[in-house]
Amino acid sequence: MAIAGFDEQEFTHEAVTKTVYRKGKGPGVIVITEVPGIHPGVIDFANLLAAQGFSVALPELFGTTGKPVTMPYALGTMAKLCVSREFKLLAAHESSPITEWLRALARKLHGELGGPGVGAIGMCLTGNFALSMAVEPAMMAPVLSQPALPLPVGKDRAAALAVSPSELATIKRRVDEEGYKVLGLCFTADAKVPRARFETLKQELRQGFEAIEIDSGPGNASGIKAAAHSVLTIDLVRDAGHPTEQALQRVFSFLHERLDAAPPAAAV
């Protein structure tokens, strides 16, 4: 299904072809949709990025593009993902195979657009995909929004990052040698994103990880419900000063900091 205002392209890597929706000019940013698919909230977020001066790439990985979110739709998508070979929902220390395709897309965007590199924003079940993509040199600005993989079944999975030990070692090396940065977003009461997962990110990436943890506990000052999950889409409140609006603005500034080309040196 076409998205108004977006160009529709196909990208193939190792015989896997998927539709990618494109909009905007500037540094490349890959928006990896949350479950159940590229719903209207994800499209709205992609439009905001394009308006910020980014060239947005929105790959169609699952679901029906443009279809509104309903519980039956979400459950149906989850059922399909559980048996998909491209996604590993319970793998604690291993990336999903689809991340290889996403890395290739990042390389393609960087080759096309140039600049310091590209960004990626993963959400929900794809949140950790942005972290896995950080082993690709072209990936310069990974954003993990409510990273929900692996599904938190058991203590080990609750604290795990859904990346392999070698991938994590590469990302940590980038932090130490390149000043690499990763941004993470979540609601504090979100059961889908255990607190232990963010603690692991802080411990492993240290100064390379910036955490935005939005209070959604009982009696929180912003009245955010305990079930809040989607920081940048469904549960985003576009009111000045609201914690989700502040998180959105930090995503914009993080991407600009990491992706905008350095200004030319002043003439001597």
Residue 164 pLDDT: 97
Q: Where are the domains of the chain?
A: 22-259
CA pair distance 33, 14, nearest whole angstrom: 22
Output the furthest CA–CA distance in the chain (Å, rounded).
Answer: 64
Other beta carbons less than 10 A from residue 12's beta carbon:
10
* Residue 267: predicted pLDDT: 38
Structure confidence by residue, pLDDT tens digits, 171-196: 999 999 999 999 999 999 999 999 99
Residue 132 identity: S
Dist. CA 29–CA 248, nearest whole Å? 15
pLDDT classification of 9: cutoffs 50, 70, 90: very high
pLDDT over threshold 60, residue 268: no
Are 6 and 78 contacting, i.e. CB atoms less than 8 angstroms apart?
no
| Torsion angles phi and psi, residue 196, rounded to 5 | -60, -30
pLDDT given at position 263: 47
Token representation of residue 266: 């002043």
DSSP-assigned letter for residue 94: S
CATH 3.30.70.3270 fits 22-259, yes or no: no
List the beta bridge partners of residue 212.
185
pLDDT of residue 261: 77
One-letter amino acid at 183 equals L
Closest CA to 151 of 191, 103, 207, 111: 191
pLDDT for 262 equals 58
Amino acid at 224: I
Q: What are phi and psi of 71, to 5 degrees?
A: -65, -45
pLDDT digits (tens, 9 = 90+) for 37-87: 999 999 999 999 999 999 999 999 999 999 999 999 999 999 999 999 999
pLDDT tens across 152-170, in order? 999 899 999 999 999 999 9
Q: Does residue 2 surpass a pLDDT of 80?
A: yes
Q: Give the sheet arrangement for strand 118-123, strand by strand.
A: 7-13, 16-23, 55-59, 28-32, 118-123, 139-145, 182-187, 209-214
**What is the pTM for the complete model shown?**
0.95
Over 90: is that where the pLDDT of 215 sits? yes
Mean pLDDT across 7-12 = 97
80-133 pLDDT per residue, tens: 999 999 999 999 999 999 999 999 999 999 999 999 999 999 999 999 999 999
221 pLDDT above the threshold of 50:
yes
Please name every residue paired with 59 in a beta bridge, in sequence order, or none if there are none: 20
For all residues of the chain together, what is the average pLDDT?
95
